[in-house]
Amino acid sequence: MAVENNGVNLNDVLASSGVSTGTKKNTTTEPTDKNALGKDAFLKLLVTQMQHQNPLDPQDNGEFVAQLAQFSSLEGIQTLNSSVNSIINGMGSSQALQASSLVGRSVIVQNDKAVVDTTQSFTGQVVVPQAITEGKVTIKDKDGTVVKTIQLGEQKAGNADFIWDGTNDKGEKVDPGNYTFTATTTVDGKAKEMYTLLPAKVNSVSFQNGGEMMLNLAGIGKIGISKVQTIGI
């Protein structure tokens, strides 16, 4: 006695599950990707498959277990994606809070320029790569004119502090404004330039998609927060 095969076409099953087969143009404006098999559609597909299996040749239990395991794995991945997105959103909120607290504060960055209020003492640092017997910091105004030379003397490797009292080499007070600091030393008879770490005021903060937070520093411009050495008051 011949038994009619009750199997169904995969396209029919997918259609009943609400999943597009790609043979018809999607005319809806929904943002959901109809070609993606979500967990609800996967479950509908599994139930439909069970309903239409051949009674004389039922599907093996092992195959059903494997499909259920795939369903569980799919649900776990979706849950993980949701958790990761929540963490990312939380990090964004934390970063925004951190940014708001930085505005108006002073930070120390590796740079050779600074806005200086010459009515007060200005403190900076020089990164000394190795022990030196002598070194100096040359300070120039916005026009490139040398206004002050500060002698560092003998220094060990590390960060060496220097203080500028806002006067020129003649002992006269100079105007507040933008100044450039160049630190040099002599190694094996050759002049060598050293990095300077200078304070700068945070005027504003900006965010970049997928990038780090950028600080807009007075007299310097934008700089990544990862380049900040110290956060002051």
Closest by CA to 103, choosing from 229, 185, 216, 220, is 216
**Which of 1.20.58.190, 3.40.80.10, 2.60.40.4070, 3.30.70.100 would CATH assign to domain 106-231?**
2.60.40.4070
How does residue 20 score in pLDDT terms, banded at 50, 70 and 90? Answer: very low
pLDDT at 5: 44
For the chain, what are the domain ranges?
Answer: 10-25+32-101, 106-231
pLDDT over 70 (residue 56): no
The structure tokens listed for 140 are: 């120039």
What is the C-alpha separation between 213 and 96, in angstroms, rounded? 9
Distance CA 147, CA 160 (A): 21
Residue-wise pLDDT tens digits, 113-172: 999 999 999 999 999 999 999 999 999 999 999 999 999 999 999 999 999 999 999 999
Averaged confidence pLDDT in the chain: 78
Distant-in-sequence, close-in-space partners of 123: CB < 8 Å, separation ≥ 6? 161, 162, 163, 164, 199
pTM: 0.59
* Beta carbons within 10 angstroms of residue 102's beta carbon: 17
Give residue 62's pLDDT. 65
With a pLDDT cut of 90, the percent of the chain lying above it is: 39
**Sorting pLDDT into bands at 50, 70 and 90, what band is 210?**
low
**Cα–Cα distance for residue pair 39/204, rounded to 1 Å:** 45
**For residue 33, pLDDT beyond 80:** no
- Taking only the tens place, the pLDDT of each residue in 23-32 is 444 444 444 5
Beta carbons of 223 and 214 less than 8 angstroms apart: yes
- Length of the chain measured in residues: 233
DSSP state of 155: B
Nearest to 207 by CA among 110, 126, 88, 53: 88
In whole angstroms, what is the distance from residue 85 CA to residue 139 CA? Answer: 49
Q: pLDDT digits over 76-105, tens only?
A: 777 777 777 777 666 666 666 666 778 888
pLDDT, average across residues 29-52: 62
* Residue in this structure with the two tokens 């050779």, named with its chain if needed: 112
